[in-house]
Every structure is written in structure tokens, then in C-alpha cells.
């Protein structure tokens, strides 16, 4: 997960050679979101590359963003799971930053765009089982991820790791639009109490796009734009809040059990979706059986 990216407007990002905190040197700017800059960096203490996340220079005066970044970093530093990105350190001064492990695979969104041939059904099912494992772990620690999507999953040789806890929160009330427009569940779109079912939706819509190459809704051409809490890119309109997901069988032929599992994740009623454990069990039935 490396490369060089332009900053796309606003103040220029830090240049290579900059030392944003003792022991860290910027190697390259990777990407810019609505409020973050992400860098490839060198850790002198670990003698290895790492990823640094910082608040954009033009937004550093907004204290809530720094707190949000550090909160994510503390969670990732404390958590330990094979399908969750590792956090190394949080730095509060001179500016908030979070240090993460460098992942050498590709995001699912990049793979979907790059590889014309869709993955085998067994690979889709295995991905789903791994996402269920990571989500089960997060739920056990009292957090909902709320932003599961292909750009937040890196895969290397069939091993998936979930990224980005920037909008994660405990179950309960939430404002409308928490998450990313085309991937959030209907209840996230509307606002109100959120449960583990919101992440089941996130797993399902991620598997749907990986299997078919697109999401089951018309999102106006932009399907991967990260948003801040309560923000949206469609002036308050979310297709998943008004229409049912197109069954995956209409887009691609898959084993019946796998297709049924993905469709079940995308039921409009959160109570009608499977639990994470039920989903994992259903997905495992689509995996090849070995003696």
C-alpha cells in the first residue's frame, strides 16, 4: 500500500525529508481525504517504513479532528487481530499524528478497478469470513466500524486487513450520514440507533462490489468518497434508504448459499439481517471442503 499522490488542492502536504515528530521522516505523500493527509514514512526506532496519518494543515485548528485521529490511533494501538491494521504509536505534539504499520497488499477498491476478471466464489466467501472475524473482534470491544468498504480493506495473498476506525463508535444513537454515501446502511443514512447490523450491511455491500464490480445502488457515479460524521455527498439523498438492493444473482451467478448470504446482509430491516456469527457460518459453507 504505497505510492505517491497529489494533494488535490488546499495547502501542500509535507515534502519528503520533513520530520513531523522525533524519529519519523516523511518519504512520500500517499493520499488526502476530506480532513487527513496520509504519508509513507520511515521509523528510526523500528528501522522500517510505516504509515503516518495527520490532520490536513488547513484543518489543524479544529480540535475535534485531532481528538478523533488520536482516538483511532489509541484503539488500533491497543487492539491486536490478524485482520485489523496494527497501530504503533500516537503522537500529540507538535501536531496530532498516528503511526500505523505499512501494508504491502492492495485495497479491494484498487483490485476491483484493476482486475477485469471477477474473483472466484470461494475467494469472495473467504474474504467475507475474514471480515466477519475482524468485525466480531471490534464488536467484542464495544465498537461498530461503520465504514466497511473496499477502500478500507487491504488484501495480500488472500489475507485481508481492515483499515480506518475514524468513524467507529459504540452502538447507540448516531447522526444521519455517518460513513460513506454508497456503503452505509439505511439506518446510518437516516440517523438514529445503530447496532451490529450496520456492520453486517457493510460486509455484505463490500462482498457485493468485490463479486460484481459495482455496488447494488446508483450513487451518482461516485462510490468511494469518505465523509465526516453526519456529512453526505448527495444533499441528504441515499438510494439505499429508499429502495431495495438488487439481488446479487441478477449481476452474477454464484453458489446459492453465497448469494443468499450476501443478499441477507442487505435487507433494509436491520433485525432481518443475520448476526455476524450467522453470516460467518453461512459464508463458510461456500468454502471448498478439504479432507
What is the mean pLDDT of the segment spanning 114-121? 91
Q: Per DSSP, what are the bridge partners of residue 55?
A: 36
Tens digit of pLDDT for each residue in 196-218? 999 999 999 999 999 999 999 88
Helix, coil or strand: residue 23: coil
Residue 192: all three cell numbers together: 438514529
Of residues 88, 79, 74, the one with CA closest to residue 133: 79
Compute CA 222 distance to the chain's CA centroid, rounded to the nearest angstrom: 16
Domain ranges of the chain: 24-101, 106-284
CA 130 vs CA 123, 155, 240: distances in Å: 11, 11, 25
User: How many Cβ atoms from other residues are within 10 Å of residue 192's Cβ?
Assistant: 12
CATH classification of 24-101 is 3.30.200.20, yes or no?
yes
What is the mean pLDDT of the segment spanning 152-158? 95
Task: Give me the CATH topology for the region 106-284.
Answer: Transferase(Phosphotransferase); domain 1 (1.10.510)
Inter-helix orientation angle 256-265/276-284, to 10°:
160
Whether the CB-CB separation of 224 and 285 falls below 8 Å is answered with no
Tens digit of pLDDT for each residue in 252-285? 999 999 999 999 999 999 999 999 999 999 999 9
What is the mean pLDDT of the segment spanning 168-179? 95
Of residues 78, 67, 79, 72, the one with CA closest to residue 52: 72
Amino acid at each position: 500500500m504505497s505510492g505517491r499522490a497529489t494533494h488535490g488542492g488546499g495547502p501542500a502536504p509535507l515534502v519528503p525529508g520533513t520530520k513531523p515528530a522525533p524519529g519519523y521522516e516523511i518519504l512520500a505523500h500517499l493520499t488526502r481525504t476530506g480532513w487527513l493527509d496520509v504519508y509513507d514514512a520511515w521509523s528510526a526506532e523500528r528501522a522500517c517504513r510505516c504509515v503516518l496519518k495527520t490532520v490536513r494543515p488547513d484543518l489543524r485548528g479544529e480540535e475535534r479532528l485531532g481528538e478523533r485521529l488520536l482516538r483511532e490511533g489509541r484503539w488500533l494501538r491497543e487492539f491486536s487481530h490478524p485482520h485489523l491494521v496494527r497501530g504503533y504509536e500516537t503522537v500529540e505534539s507538535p501536531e496530532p499524528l498516528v503511526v500505523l504499520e505499512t501494508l504491502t497488499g492492495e485495497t479491494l477498491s484498487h483490485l476491483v478497478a484493476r482486475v477485469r476478471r471477477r474473483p472466484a466464489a470461494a475467494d469472495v466467501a473467504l474474504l467475507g469470513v475474514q471480515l466477519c472475524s475482524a468485525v466480531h473482534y471490534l464488536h467484542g470491544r464495544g465498537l461498530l466500524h461503520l465504514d466497511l468498504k473496499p477502500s478500507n480493506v487491504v488484501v495480500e495473498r488472500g489475507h485481508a486487513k481492515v483499515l480506518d476506525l475514524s468513524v467507529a463508535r459504540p452502538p447507540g444513537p448516531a447522526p444521519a450520514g455517518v460513513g460513506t454515501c454508497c456503503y452505509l446502511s439505511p439506518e446510518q443514512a437516516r440517523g438514529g440507533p445503530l447496532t451490529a447490523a450496520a456492520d453486517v450491511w457493510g460486509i455484505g455491500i463490500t462482498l457485493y462490489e468485490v463479486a460484481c464490480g459495482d455496488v447494488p445502488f446508483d450513487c451518482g457515479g461516485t462510490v468511494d468518497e469518505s465523509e465526516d460524521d453526519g456529512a453526505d455527498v448527495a444533499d441528504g439523498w441515499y438510494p439505499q434508504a429508499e429502495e431495495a438492493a438488487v439481488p446479487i444473482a441478477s449481476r452474477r451467478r454464484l453458489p446459492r448459499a453465497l448469494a443468499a448470504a450476501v443478499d441477507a446482509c442487505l435487507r433494509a430491516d436491520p433485525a432481518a439481517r443475520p448476526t455476524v456469527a450467522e453470516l460467518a457460518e453461512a459464508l463458510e459453507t461456500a468454502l471448498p471442503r478439504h479432507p
